Copies of this chain bind each other. A is one copy, B any other.
């Protein structure tokens, strides 16, 4: 690694996630090469970044990855497609490049199962949009070597992300498992008529959403117990968690259809509406990130000691 040279990232797949990775790396001074089979790739890249030396595009995957420090793959969530893409990447990428997939569900072990060499393949699962959301879940597969884990963590840290290394490959990884456990209960509560979609969102946003943007879940729990600590809290909490029967979303398509209608009616539909909401989300996210950076006595980033 020559630290005098800017890093190079190869973005494989120019969808929403891929283009956001591209903006993140570009903002950090990296060379960006974007590849995608879509016929309008050139227009897309040039309308976003202009025509410059630091962001280029090519329809040829091999050309895109051959000088990459980090290959970030954002293709379709289908295993055979991933395996084919990674076969091509392995053939053309430098021997020390980190080969990462943004997949939220396909593990490095699954991709590796179809390939001879796979020690540099790893999951680097971002939150949408990766240019704003700090977390990257880094999941090595059963063939991934340790130096790839170390290097992936270092590269994501250079991009100002917060990589957390996860050593067990479970469905949903960690963040989505947690989200989905809560979402299942949220859908149940709305489907049961306890609250409506907007009421539930107001509850989330004005309580633990706000809380968990500032401190984590276990830290909040430690403080919930008062100065006498988490021991005190757990005495009660253990019982309460045990007592509650959490709900599950209905399997009735009519009930599901009603929920979808309720969400659409609460937040609207269509391209223009979507763009307006995304702009608002990103403006608020940026504001919160800036506020947290200023308010914290320490950097908000946390790098796994496993790494």
Mark A residues whose CB is within 8 Å of B.
16, 105, 127-128, 133-135, 137, 162, 164-168, 170-172, 174-186, 189-190, 192-195, 197-224, 226-227, 229-231, 234, 237-238, 240-244, 246, 249, 251, 256, 260, 263-264, 266-267, 269-271, 274-275, 277-278, 280-281, 283-292, 294-297, 300, 302, 304, 306
Instruction: Determine the distance from Cα of A269 to Cα of B281 in the docked complex, in whole angstroms.
Output: 37
Given A194-B168, A229-B264, A287-B294, A204-B186 contact (CB < 8 Å)? no
**Distance A11 CA – B221 CA, assembled complex (angstroms):** 25
How far, in angstroms, from A204 to B234 measured CA to CA in the complex? Answer: 20
Q: List 15 A-B contacts (CB under 8 A).
A: A164-B199, A170-B194, A175-B204, A177-B189, A204-B216, A205-B213, A205-B215, A209-B214, A210-B285, A210-B289, A214-B285, A219-B266, A222-B263, A222-B264, A290-B291
Q: Are A133 and B207 in contact (CB under 8 A)?
A: yes
In the complex, chain B residues whose CB is within 8 Å of the CB of A172 = 240, 244
Given contacts A209-B212, A226-B16, A287-B295, contact A181 B179 (CB under 8 A): no
Q: How many copies make up the complex? A: 2
Is B201's CB under 8 angstroms from A218's CB?
Answer: yes
B224 touches A128 (CB 8 A): yes
Chain A at the B interface: SS class:
helix
Q: Please indicate the chain B residues that have their CB under 8 angstroms from the CB of A222 in the complex.
A: 263-264, 266-267, 277
B241 pairs with A216, CB closer than 8 A: no
| B201 near A174: Cβ-Cβ < 8 Å | no
Expressed in whole angstroms, the minimum distance between the Cβ of A225 and any Cβ of chain B is 9
Q: Chain B: which residue is nearest A289 at the CB level?
A: B210
* Closest Cβ–Cβ distance, residue A249 to chain B (whole Å): 6
Cα–Cα, bound, A206→B215 (Å): 10
- Known pairs A201-B215, A205-B212, A217-B200; A226 contacts B170 (CB<8 A): no
CB closest residue in chain B, given A180 = B241
Q: Of B133, B181, B202, B211, which is within 8 A of A184 by CB?
A: B181
- Please, how many angstroms separate the alpha-carbon atoms of A197 and B174 in the complex? 12
Contact of A186 with B217 at beta-carbon distance under 8 Å, contacts A202-B302, A210-B133, A274-B226 already known: yes
* Contact present for B231 and A260 (CB under 8 Å): yes
In the complex, chain B residues whose CB is within 8 Å of the CB of A170: 194
**Bound-complex Cα distance A284 to B285 (A):** 15
If A211-B133, A212-B208 touch, does A223 touch B278 (CB 8 Å cutoff)? yes
**Chain B residue at smallest Cβ distance from A77:** B236
**Known contacts A212-B209, A280-B297, A241 near B230 by CB under 8 Å:** no
**Contact for A178 among B137, B208, B224, B260, CB less than 8 A:** B208
